[in-house]
Chains A and B, each alone.
Chain A
Amino acid sequence: MLRLINLAVIGALVIGAAWLYEIKYSSTRAAEHVAKLRAEIRRERDAIAALRAEWARLDNPDRIQILARRHLTLKPVETTQFDSLDHLPEKPVEIVPPGSADPIGALIENMVDPEVVTGSVVEPEANH
């Protein structure tokens, strides 16, 4: 009985040791991976910073101004080139309602003013 227990304990010990080894090994691997990723992130960040600095240098207004003067015919905006939206002319009234099947008929219909009384049109409210 005692021997059986001893054997079981030894077995458990071996399994436990193997399991521990596995965990330890994988955690080391994970830690190395983390360190590698950290270093990579830092390298990338440094590269981004360097590129951003370079971009800012290329974007410098002084440099752009020199280039624009040399290669473009654009000029600074004059105050007279601005206008407000209120000064836009009104959109013209649509003569033909959009999507009508008979545009010419609609046009003629629109031209007829129903209020005008002529010889051929009977006055609408003739109550005299």
Chain B
Amino acid sequence: MSAQTIQPASPPATGLISARRRLVHRLLYGRNVDRGAKARARVLLAIMVFAAVYAVVALRLVMFALVPESHAVRRTGSQDAVATARPDIVDRNGQILATDVRMPSLFGEPRKIIDVDEATELLTAVLPDLESAEVRERLGSRRGFVWLKREIKPQQQQQIHRLGIPGIGFLPENKRVYPNGAEVSHLIGLVNIDNQGIAGMEKWLDGRGLADLHRAGFATDREQKPIALAVDLRVQHALRDELVAAAEKFKAKAAAGLVIDVNTGEILSMVSVPDYDPNNPREANDPTRINRLSTGVFELGSTFKALTIAMALDSGKVTLNSTFDARVPLRYGRFNIHDYHAQHRVMTVPEIFTYSSNIGTARMALALGVEHHKWFLRKLGQLDRLRTELPESAEPLVPKHWGELNTVTIAFGHGLSVAPLQAAMGINALVNGGYLIPPTFMKRTQQEARALATQVIKPETSDKMRYLLRLNAEKGSATKADVKGYYIGGKTGTAEKVIGGRYSKTKVLTTFTAILPADKPRYQIFIILDEPQGLKETFGFSTSGWNAGPTAGKVIARIAPMLGIEPRFDLPPADRLILAKGQ
């Protein structure tokens, strides 16, 4: 500073330099400036610098004081749940299907452990299922943190805590529990040990952004809103109970059932037995326990005739009074198409439906042609993969070269394999006024469904289909499914299974679809039995009318009161109630 003061003073500036700079310059260096004034200016400068520094410090302090939360949150975040907190899943009435329970998990910090052998011995004494060699190896490693056992019981935590082993600690973790066990297994799926969904609706939840949320570290709190599904636990239970009983009674390999809202596409219940307990993930990988409704594709047999007849009626070329020749088996190439309940006469459309005539439906499909058949089935979503919220879905098996023979067999439900859920969607469209509504596992109102729906057949055709289905329950193959008072309509189907490339005569897949009630449908019930056996009480028959049909009847008798369907006994037969309204 002193060196600078003796520098020659700049000439009295009058030029372009700003007045302020000149003033500062003169005050600091000017020779003719009063020393006192110069000193004061310097002190002022020093004060200003210090004031600035203190202001920064003070400001920073205020900032720290204003956001004290960030520290605390980060600390509890790491201590807290390691596994993702997931929202609860509830059924349409608020019953819990899946929830999180906090469980302690045992971990070790090998660097802090003094005596590995002692620690191992003490721990395996409390937790007998712990492998002692593995524990020793883990604790002997040089890592900072090792898991010893995930999800231990609170009592075990207490015991281990009392042992007071240094370097052993607990972290609370969220564990997913399914209080209803196997009851809703295929529908909601399950999670892995890190609480990430690996199947069913749980996986769908992750796909909706929960996984990202977890990765960012936000999904640790349980204050997430519960997810309400369309499923009704009571209906689900009734359906499962009846299916388990039916599978046992008819010695079937598997059974599956679906209850779907005809007007909204909501899936109220979906059961496929054998199923698994989502609390025990090991069972879920068993291939015999797949979800037969969405992951399996099957030739559905005569149930498919409903689609063929709807196609014929909707084309306008066929009416309910049209007749088709079913006197002799239909010869096609080297194939002979027979009727199971052969009548050997010319039949009308309602007769073809109630006697489930293969010849009649095949002739009907042939009359409209291959292209029309293909176009209609595609319109009804039977030829493309159906995607719902469930991540598991299967592609239908469509013949590569679709000739007339294919049309003949597909007309009565052989030669085209579809997922049963897909067929149920198509049948819904036949009876609900012609709206094709994609099925959903989430709640949906009728307005929302209408917005998504496409009109695939005329409302008049839908009336006729309801009439045919009801007629079939009054005097056709579905009489054993009819529950007095609920005005059910239904169609049976018995498909011969392909064993070693040929259709088997003994191994069959029986299906049954019922609509409830037939005059103003609200629900469709779809039942499948895989390889049911003939019994003495069914006179050795293993066709659908003897097993899948009655099972559907039992299911309806149980679920109709829950669904608020009022029994009515004074209703006229189908031709007067449904047809008269349609005309």
Chain A residues with Cβ below 8 Å from B222 are 45-46, 49
Q: Are B183 and A35 in contact (CB under 8 A)?
A: no
Instruction: Give the nearest-CB partner of A45 in chain B.
Output: B222
Residue from A53, A55, A57, A65 having most chain B Cβ neighbours under 10 A: A53
Chain B residues with Cβ below 8 Å from A78 are 557
Contact with A along B99-116 (1 / 0, CB 8 A): 111100000000000000
Q: Are B102 and A49 in contact (CB under 8 A)?
A: yes
Q: Are A82 and B99 in contact (CB under 8 A)?
A: no
Assuming the contacts A59-B95, A61-B237, A76-B557, asked whether A53 and B68 have C-beta atoms less than 8 A apart, the reply is no
Complex Cα–Cα for A53 and B237 (A): 18
Complex Cα–Cα for A62 and B275 (A): 15
Chain A: residues with Cβ within 8 Å of the partner, total of 24
Chain B residues with Cβ below 8 Å from A49 are 99-102, 222
Q: A59-B95, A61-B180 are in contact. List 12 more A-B contacts (CB 8 A).
A: A35-B72, A46-B101, A46-B172, A52-B99, A56-B179, A56-B180, A57-B179, A61-B237, A62-B180, A79-B485, A79-B560, A82-B566
Complex Cα–Cα for A61 and B237 (A): 6
Q: Does B234 contact A (CB under 8 A)?
A: yes
Assuming the contacts A57-B179, A76-B557, asked whether A62 and B241 have C-beta atoms less than 8 A apart, the reply is yes
Q: Does A80 contact B (CB under 8 A)?
A: yes
Q: Are A56 and B102 in contact (CB under 8 A)?
A: no
13 A/B residue pairs, CB under 8 Å, sorted by A = A46-B102, A53-B96, A53-B177, A55-B96, A56-B179, A56-B180, A60-B183, A61-B233, A61-B238, A62-B183, A65-B241, A79-B485, A80-B484
Instruction: Give the nearest-CB partner of A64 in chain B.
Output: B237
Q: Does A84 contact B (CB under 8 A)?
A: yes
Complex Cα–Cα for A77 and B566 (A): 12
Instruction: Give the nearest-CB partner of B561 in chain A.
Output: A77
Assuming the contacts A60-B181, A82-B566, A84-B566, asked whether A65 and B237 have C-beta atoms less than 8 A apart, the reply is yes
Chain A residues with Cβ below 8 Å from B567 are 79-80, 82
Secondary structure dominating the interface of B: mixed
Could you tell me the distance in whole angstroms from the C-beta of A4 to the nearest C-beta in chain B?
24
Going nearest first, the 6 A-B pairs with the smallest beta carbon separation are A56-B179, A79-B485, A61-B237, A57-B179, A79-B567, A56-B96
Contact with A along B161-198 (1 / 0, CB 8 A): 00000000000100001011101000000000000000
Contact with A along B60-87 (1 / 0, CB 8 A): 0000000010001000000000000000
Secondary structure dominating the interface of A: helix
Q: Does A50 contact B (CB under 8 A)?
A: yes
Q: Could you tell me which residues of chain A, from 19 to 69, have a CB within 8 Å of some CB in chain B?
A: 31, 35, 45-46, 49-50, 52-57, 59-62, 65
Complex Cα–Cα for A31 and B241 (A): 54
Q: Are A50 and B101 in contact (CB under 8 A)?
A: yes
Instruction: Give the nearest-CB partner of B221 in chain A.
Output: A42
Instruction: Give the nearest-CB partner of A34 in chain B.
Output: B72
Chain B residues with Cβ below 8 Å from A84 are 566
Complex Cα–Cα for A89 and B27 (A): 114
Assuming the contacts A56-B179, A65-B241, asked whether A79 and B101 have C-beta atoms less than 8 A apart, the reply is no
Q: Does B374 contact A (CB under 8 A)?
A: no
Could you tell me the distance in whole angstroms from the C-beta of B65 to the nearest C-beta in chain A?
9
Residue from A45, A49, A77 having most chain B Cβ neighbours under 10 A: A49
Assuming the contacts A31-B68, A35-B72, A79-B485, asked whether A60 and B101 have C-beta atoms less than 8 A apart, the reply is no
Assuming the contacts A49-B100, A61-B233, asked whether A79 and B557 have C-beta atoms less than 8 A apart, the reply is yes
Could you tell me the distance in whole angstroms from the C-beta of B259 to the nearest C-beta in chain A?
15
Q: Does B546 contact A (CB under 8 A)?
A: no
Q: Could you tell me which residues of chain B, from 229 to 244, have a CB within 8 Å of some CB in chain A?
A: 233-234, 237-238, 241
Could you tell me the distance in whole angstroms from the C-beta of A75 to the nearest C-beta in chain B?
11
Residue from A31, A55, A82 having most chain B Cβ neighbours under 10 A: A82
Could you tell me the distance in whole angstroms from the C-beta of B228 to the nearest C-beta in chain A?
15
Q: Are A79 and B177 in contact (CB under 8 A)?
A: no
Contact with A along B534-568 (1 / 0, CB 8 A): 00000000000000000000000110110000110
Chain B residues with Cβ below 8 Å from A54 are 179
Complex Cα–Cα for A56 and B98 (A): 9
Q: Does B441 contact A (CB under 8 A)?
A: no
Complex Cα–Cα for A46 and B238 (A): 32
Chain A residues with Cβ below 8 Å from B95 are 56, 59
Assuming the contacts A31-B68, A61-B183, asked whether A79 and B241 have C-beta atoms less than 8 A apart, the reply is no
Complex Cα–Cα for A78 and B484 (A): 10
Q: Does B483 contact A (CB under 8 A)?
A: yes
Could you tell me the distance in whole angstroms from the C-beta of B319 to the nearest C-beta in chain A?
35
Q: Are A60 and B180 in contact (CB under 8 A)?
A: yes
Instruction: Give the nearest-CB partner of B102 in chain A.
Output: A46
Could you tell me the distance in whole angstroms from the C-beta of B556 to the nearest C-beta in chain A?
10
Assuming the contacts A56-B96, A79-B484, asked whether A61 and B179 have C-beta atoms less than 8 A apart, the reply is no
Chain B residues with Cβ below 8 Å from A77 are 561
Q: Are B241 and A53 in contact (CB under 8 A)?
A: no
Could you tell me the distance in whole angstroms from the C-beta of B396 to the nearest C-beta in chain A?
34
Contact with A along B346-376 (1 / 0, CB 8 A): 0000000000000000000000000000000
Complex Cα–Cα for A82 and B557 (A): 12
Could you tell me the distance in whole angstroms from the C-beta of B549 to the nearest C-beta in chain A?
18
Q: Does B526 contact A (CB under 8 A)?
A: no
Complex Cα–Cα for A52 and B100 (A): 10
Q: Does B486 contact A (CB under 8 A)?
A: yes
Instruction: Give the nearest-CB partner of B237 in chain A.
Output: A61
Which of B72, B179, B560, B566 lies in contact with A60, CB distance below 8 A? B179
Complex Cα–Cα for A35 and B484 (A): 63
Complex Cα–Cα for A24 and B385 (A): 66
